[in-house]
Structure 1
C-alpha cells in the first residue's frame, strides 16, 4: 500500500519550500521504488482566511491517518491583530496536542563547506553532528500557572514545573534509540543541583540507560551545556533534555551552523510525526522564489528516516544536499562572490540532480 504524506504548506514561503521538498521526495521515491501519495491541507493564517480557524478539523483528521506530515511555516504580520486563540501559531500547538507530538528532534550538522558561516571559529564547528531530543508536551510550559495574584501584599505570577516518571521514560528511550543509530552517546541535561524535577529526571534517565548497555550516558547541568555548545560543540552526539531547557538549547545550537534556513526538525508523536524547518514563514520574501528550501528538504529526509523507516532514502537526500553545497550552490541567504547563486527552484534542482 502507498504511504500517505500530508503536506501542510502553511503561510508565507511555506508553499515554495514544501513544493521543493516534495519534488525531492518524488525523485527519491522513484530511485528506491517507494509508493508515496500526497494530500495537501491548510493550517495557519491561510486556514484562518479560508475557514476562520487556524487548524480545521479536516486537517487534523487527515494528519491522524497519515504516515508522515511535511509542514512548511505559519504566521505573518497579516494576522497580528487576530485574537490570540485564533492566531496562526495555534495550528502548531493544536497539532502537537491532537497528534500527541511528545518529542522534538533537532539535528545540527555543519557541512565542511558551511563552516565559514558559523559565528564560531571554523576549527570549533568542523565535524559538528549532534541531535537535540527535547521533551515537547510536559514541563513548565504545560504545568499549572497563575498570571497574577496577591501574596504578602505584592502581586506575583507563577508557573509550575513538573514531570512524571512515564513522561521521562518515554523521551529517554527515544534519545537512546536515536543514539543507537548514531555514535552511541547520550548527554542528559538538567539542573539537578537545584530543581527537584531535575533530580527525578536524572534518576529516571539512569534507570532507562540500563536497558541500553551499548549507549554511554553522560550528565550535564544546563548552564554548562550552554557553555560547551559555544566552546566545544563537536563533543556532543545526542542531547536529551526537557521542554524549557530544550527550547533554549536548540535555538543556541541552531546558530552554530550559521543559517537557520539549513536546519530541519522532527516532532515525534504517538499517532504520527511531523517534519518542518525551524525557520519562520518569512512573509517579506514570500512569492519571490528566493527562499532557501534546504531546511525543508532535510526535514523530508528525517521523514524518510523516522516515519517511513527508509534509511537509504534519507541518506540519499542528505548526501545530495552536501554534494550540491560542495558544488558551490547557495541561495541568497548564504551566497557571496565566487559561489553559484541559486533561487529556490535552482537550489532544489541542484539537489535533485545529485540524487
Structure 2
C-alpha cells in the first residue's frame, strides 16, 4: 500500500508541548520515527547530524527552533529579549555552513522581531510563531510552483535521474527536484526515475528511493558510479537536482557528487536542471568559489554504515559534504517564479526583483 506524498510531514511545530517534531531521516528506510525536540541544543544536534536535512526543511526547523528557543524567555523589555534571540540565532546558525536557507530563515525571523519593536513580549512571541508558520506554509506553495515549472520541461515517459534527496521529506511538501515527479505521477506521465545512492550518507538509497517507492513512483536505485552507463544506454532524458546555495553567476552548491553528474550529462547531451527556491539564491555570493563547503567527520566514509570498518585504520579521509556545479554545466535553474537560463547573472537577478514586487 502506497502513502500519498501529502501524508508525510517531516517538520512541524507542536506548540502545546513546546516541541519541534521531526521525522528522523537518519533512521530511514528501516524505521519511521518522529522526534520531539524541546531544547535548542536538541534542535542544533538534529540539524548537524542530519536528522533533519534538505535546505528548505533546515530553514523551517531553524525558524521553529528559534521561536521555541525564546518562547520561555523572561525578558522584561525588547532589548533583553533581542539579546536572548541573537544568542539562540548565532547558536543555530553554527550547525551547518553551506545551506543558505538556514541563514535566510533565521534572518527573516529577526526581521520580524525588529518589526514588532514597541509591542509587548507576549505579542512578539506570537508574531515569531506566526512567522515560522508562514515560512513552512510558503515553502509548500513554493515547491508546488517549482514542480509546475519543472514539469513543463519534461515529457511523458521520460527517464529522469536525480542525486541526493530533494523530496517532500526535505521540504514542507512536494520537494524541489522531486516535485515535478510527484505532479507527473498524478497526471499519468509515467516517469522512470533513477536515484543515485549518493555516497557517503546514502540519501538517494535511504531517502529518495524510499520516498518515491512509498508514493508509487517507478524508481530504480543505482550506485553513483553507474550514472554514466544509464545515460549512455539512453535511459535518462533529463537530470533533476536540488541545491543548497546558488551564487549570483549561477554556480550551484549541492550534495557531493552533483558536479560529476552534471559533467556526465553535458557529455551525453542531457539537460541538467537545478530546482531551487529563491531563498537559496545568494546574490551576495559572486561565484561558487565563495560558497563555504562543509567538511564532515571521517567516520561517515569509513565506518558509519558498516558492521566492520571498510577502510584501513587511521587512513586519511577527505569528506566534503557538497561540491559546486559550474553554471556552464547547468541547462536551467527552476524557481517558483519561473525558469532562469544563461546568462544567470541577469536572469537570476530579474527573478529576485520579481520576488520583491
Give me the TM-score of the superposition, normalised by structure 1: 0.28
> RCO (CA 8 Å, sep 6+): is it higher in 1 or 2?
1
Q: Which has the higher strand share?
A: 1
